[in-house]
Amino acid sequence: MISIKSKTDLAKMREAGKIAGGALKLAGESIRAGMSTLELDKIVHDYIVRCGAKPSFKGYGGFPGSACISINEEVIHGIPRANKIIREGDIVSVDVGAFYNGFHGDTCATFPCGEISDEAKALLEVTKASLYEGIAQAQVGARLGDVSHAIEEYCASRGYGIVRNYCGHGVGRELHESPEVPNWGRAGHGPRLTAGMTIAIEPMINVKGDDVRVLKDGWTVLTVSGSLSAHFEHTIAITPDGPVIMTQP
């Protein structure tokens, strides 16, 4: 069942989203060559806790970190580790959730470490732009498929692979709620969007091919092609005045 939030709920979600967005912004500013992903995870964790919130991901389904940190060909769910070192030229996806006053905010971005390749720059630009293409379609009365199709059309028309094994989702009192929000689909299909719905839109886009695989750790997802992958995400609210991004810092 899709949860519809009241104005009070949305105000609380905005606070949770602001904390998640602030943690993500700090993570992006903190990335440097030579640091471990565990160091970066501690920065995210400490910021969220200082704000009086809890990291949504810590212990979720047994996940050991406060953030999912994925590098280069890793798509999502990278486990922070002391021996996993960020290097010059890497692209680093940081996925952050904050639970505050009964609600979650969920957001992600992929950041460059120093100077990155032209291929990586183009991937980041297209993936981020596709997120906003999807958000623009999240209007009262539209269909969920309009959001999904906008992302697919933007990325596929430029030759990029779209991860189909994982997708966005509703978010609120639970980190993952109905409905699922795929990054591909048919315009004019799917649930109708109504005021008070809150969803996390999160394109996961590969330089080459759609296919992914999971490492033996049971979490880390990689591209089968070995090509780079990027991930951008915002939690948004559907309102009569258009989509509102809840995870701005």
**Whole-angstrom distance, CA of residue 139 vs CA of residue 237:** 10
The beta-strand segments (E) located in 30-183 are: 54-55, 67-71, 74-76, 91-100, 103-112, 161-162, 168-170, 177-181
pLDDT of residue 157: 98
Q: What is the pLDDT of residues 171-218, one digit of tens each?
A: 999 999 999 999 999 999 999 999 999 999 999 999 999 999 999 999
pLDDT of residue 196: 98
Q: Which residue has the tokens 């992600």?
A: 108
pLDDT of residue 52: 98
**Whole-angstrom distance, CA of residue 124 vs CA of residue 130:** 10
What type of residue is 224? V
pLDDT of residue 174: 98
Mean pLDDT of 8-13: 98
Q: Which helix (H) or strand (E) holds 212?
A: strand 212-214
The beta-strand segments (E) located in 64-120 are: 67-71, 74-76, 91-100, 103-112
What type of residue is 97? G
Which of the four CATH numbers 1.10.540.10, 3.55.10.10, 2.60.40.1180, 3.90.230.10 does domain 7-241 have? 3.90.230.10
Mean pLDDT of 126-135: 98
| Overall residue count recorded for the chain in this entry | 249
Q: Assess contact for 96 and 108: CB atoms under 8 A.
A: yes
Domain boundaries, the chain: 7-241
Q: What is the pLDDT of residues 15-72, one digit of tens each?
A: 999 999 999 999 999 999 999 999 999 999 999 999 999 999 999 999 999 999 999 9
Q: CB-based burial of residue 246 (10 Å sphere; 0-12 exposed, 13-18 middle, 19+ buried)? A: buried
Q: Which residue has the tokens 């680093």?
A: 92
pTM of the shown model: 0.97
User: Nearest to residue 202, comparing CAs of 119, 104, 117, 93?
Assistant: 93
Buried-exposed string 130-163: b where 16+ CB fall within 10 A, e elsewhere: bbbbbbebbbbebbbbbbbbbbbebbbeeebbbb
